[in-house]
Amino acid sequence: MSVPIELNILRQQIDEIDSQLVELLARRAKITAEVGKYKSQVGLPIYVPEREAELIAKRRAEAEQQNVSPILIEDLLRRIIRESYHTQNVEYLCTNSQIKKIVVVGGAGALGRIFVDMFKRSGYSVQLLEQHDWPHADSILSDAGLVLVAVPIKLSESVICKLTCLPLDCVLVDITSTKQKPLAAMMAVHAGPVLGLHPMFGPDVPSLVKQIVVVCHGRHAEQYEWLLQQIRIWGGVLQQTTAKEHDDAMVFIQVMRHFCSFVFGSHLASENPNLQQLISLSSPIYRLELAMVGRLFAQDPALYADIIFDNEDSVALLTEFSVKFNQALALVENNNKGEFIKQFYKIGSWFGDYSKQCLISSRKLLLKADDDRSLSEDR
Amino acid sequence: MSVPIELNILRQQIDEIDSQLVELLARRAKITAEVGKYKSQVGLPIYVPEREAELIAKRRAEAEQQNVSPILIEDLLRRIIRESYHTQNVEYLCTNSQIKKIVVVGGAGALGRIFVDMFKRSGYSVQLLEQHDWPHADSILSDAGLVLVAVPIKLSESVICKLTCLPLDCVLVDITSTKQKPLAAMMAVHAGPVLGLHPMFGPDVPSLVKQIVVVCHGRHAEQYEWLLQQIRIWGGVLQQTTAKEHDDAMVFIQVMRHFCSFVFGSHLASENPNLQQLISLSSPIYRLELAMVGRLFAQDPALYADIIFDNEDSVALLTEFSVKFNQALALVENNNKGEFIKQFYKIGSWFGDYSKQCLISSRKLLLKADDDRSLSEDR
Q: Under DSSP, is residue A194 helix (H, G, I), strand (E, B) or coil?
A: strand
In the predicted model, what is the mean pLDDT of residues B53-60? Answer: 94
CB burial of residue B37 (10 Å; 0-12, 13-18, 19+): middle
In the predicted model, what is the mean pLDDT of residues B76-100? Answer: 85
Which strands make up the sheet holding B102-105, listed edge to edge? B126-129, B102-105, B146-149, B171-174, B194-199, B212-219, B237-240
User: Which residue from A42, A262, A273 is facing B328, i.e. has the nearest CB?
Assistant: A262
Chain centroid to CA B332: 37
Query: Which of 84-123 (B) contact A at CB < 8 A?
Result: 87
The pLDDT of residue B374: 46
Contact present, B107 and B130 (Cβ < 8 Å): yes
Q: Which of A83-92, B104-113, B249-258, B341-350 has the lowest mean pLDDT?
A: A83-92
Closest CA to B192 of B160, B158, B218, B227: B218
pLDDT tens, per residue, chain A with 379 residues: 578 899 999 999 999 999 999 999 999 999 998 998 888 888 787 778 888 899 999 999 999 999 999 999 999 999 999 888 877 667 888 999 999 899 999 999 889 999 999 999 999 999 999 999 999 999 999 999 999 999 988 899 999 999 999 999 999 999 998 999 999 999 999 999 999 999 988 777 778 888 899 999 999 999 999 999 999 988 899 999 999 999 989 888 889 889 999 999 999 999 999 888 888 888 777 788 888 889 889 888 988 998 899 888 899 999 999 999 999 999 999 999 999 999 999 999 999 988 888 888 777 777 766 565 444 433 2
Residue B373: pLDDT band with limits 50, 70, 90: very low
Strongest mean pLDDT among A337-341, B40-44, B210-214: A337-341
Paired strand residues for A128: A104
Residue B88: pLDDT band with limits 50, 70, 90: low
CB contact under 8 A, B22 and A291: no
B41 and chain A: CB distance < 8 Å anywhere?
Answer: no
CB contact under 8 A, A298 and B10: no
The C-alpha atoms of residue A208 and residue A202 are separated, in whole angstroms, by: 10
The C-alpha atoms of residue A344 and residue B303 are separated, in whole angstroms, by: 11
Q: How many residues does chain B have?
A: 379
Identify the closest residue of chain A to B27 by CA–CA distance: A17
In the predicted model, what is the mean pLDDT of residues B111-118? Answer: 93
- Sequence-distant (6+) residues with CB within 8 A of A238 are A213, A215, A228, A231, A232
The pLDDT of residue B25: 96
The C-alpha atoms of residue A163 and residue A186 are separated, in whole angstroms, by: 8
Element (H, E) at B348: helix B337-351
In single-letter form, the type of residue at position A102 comes to I
DSSP of A109-158: SHHHHHHHHHHHHTT--EEEE-GGGGGGHHHHHTT-SEEEE---HHHHHH
CB contact under 8 A, B263 and A295: no
Count helices and strands in chain B by DSSP H and E runs: 16, 7
The pLDDT of residue A376: 40
pLDDT at B251 over 70: yes
The pLDDT of residue A89: 64
B67 and chain A: CB distance < 8 Å anywhere?
Answer: yes
Contact present, A279 and B314 (Cβ < 8 Å): no
B357 CB neighbours in chain A (<8 A) are 294, 374, 378-379
In single-letter form, the type of residue at position B153 comes to I
- Closest Cα of chain B to A279: distance in Å? 9
The C-alpha atoms of residue A16 and residue B274 are separated, in whole angstroms, by: 53
The pLDDT of residue B370: 60
Q: What is the assigned CATH class of domain B102-241?
A: alpha beta
Contact present, A67 and A74 (Cβ < 8 Å): no
DSSP of A11-79: HHHHHHHHHHHHHHHHHHHHHHHHHHHHHHHHT--S--HHHHHHHHHHHHHHHHHTT--HHHHHHHHHH
With residues binned 3-state (H G I as helix, E B as strand, rest as coil), the percentages for chain A, rounded to 5, are 65, 10, 30
pLDDT at B90 over 80: no
Contact present, A129 and A151 (Cβ < 8 Å): no
| CATH code of the region A5-88 | 1.20.59.10
Contact present, B256 and B315 (Cβ < 8 Å): no
Look at strands B146-149 and B126-129 and give their pairing: unpaired
The pLDDT of residue A379: 25
A319 and chain B: CB distance < 8 Å anywhere?
Answer: yes
Top residue of A347, A372, A377, A378 to mutate, by most chain B CBs within 10 Å, is A347
Contact present, B315 and A329 (Cβ < 8 Å): yes
B294 and chain A: CB distance < 8 Å anywhere?
Answer: yes
- Sequence-distant (6+) residues with CB within 8 A of A74 are A56, A59, A60, B372
Contact present, A35 and B10 (Cβ < 8 Å): yes
CB contact under 8 A, B347 and A283: no
Q: For B219, list phi and psi in degrees, rounded to 5.
A: -150, 145
A188 and chain B: CB distance < 8 Å anywhere?
Answer: no
In the predicted model, what is the mean pLDDT of residues B91-109? Answer: 92
CB contact under 8 A, A38 and B322: no
- Sequence-distant (6+) residues with CB within 8 A of A44 are A38, A93, B7
B14 CB neighbours in chain A (<8 A) are 28, 31-32, 35, 55
User: Which residue from B72, B266, B372 is facing A328, i.e. has the nearest CB?
Assistant: B266
Instruction: Look over chain B and give the mean of its residue pLDDT values, rounded to a whole number.
Output: 90
The dihedral sign for the CA sequence B73, B78, B79, B84: positive
A361 CB neighbours in chain B (<8 A) are 291, 369, 374-375
pLDDT at B372 over 70: no
- Closest Cα of chain B to A298: distance in Å? 5
The domains of chain B are located at 5-88, 102-241, 246-372
Q: Which of A230-239, B17-26, B123-132, B196-205 has the lowest mean pLDDT?
A: B196-205
- Sequence-distant (6+) residues with CB within 8 A of B298 are A348, A351, A355, A356, A358, A359
B347 CB neighbours in chain A (<8 A) are 262, 265-266, 268-269, 297
Higher pLDDT, B146 or B280: B146
Q: Under DSSP, is residue B126 helix (H, G, I), strand (E, B) or coil?
A: strand
In the predicted model, what is the mean pLDDT of residues B223-230? Answer: 97
Which strands make up the sheet holding A194-199, listed edge to edge? A126-129, A102-105, A146-149, A171-174, A194-199, A212-219, A237-240
Contact present, B279 and A282 (Cβ < 8 Å): no
B343 CB neighbours in chain A (<8 A) are 266
- Sequence-distant (6+) residues with CB within 8 A of B76 are A21, A25, A76, A79, A80
The C-alpha atoms of residue B215 and residue B210 are separated, in whole angstroms, by: 15
The pLDDT of residue B310: 85
Contact present, B186 and B218 (Cβ < 8 Å): yes
The pLDDT of residue B371: 61
CB contact under 8 A, A76 and B19: no
Q: How many residues does chain A have?
A: 379
The pLDDT of residue B377: 37
Top residue of B351, B363, B376, B379 to mutate, by most chain A CBs within 10 Å, is B351
Q: Is the ipTM of this complex over 0.95?
A: no
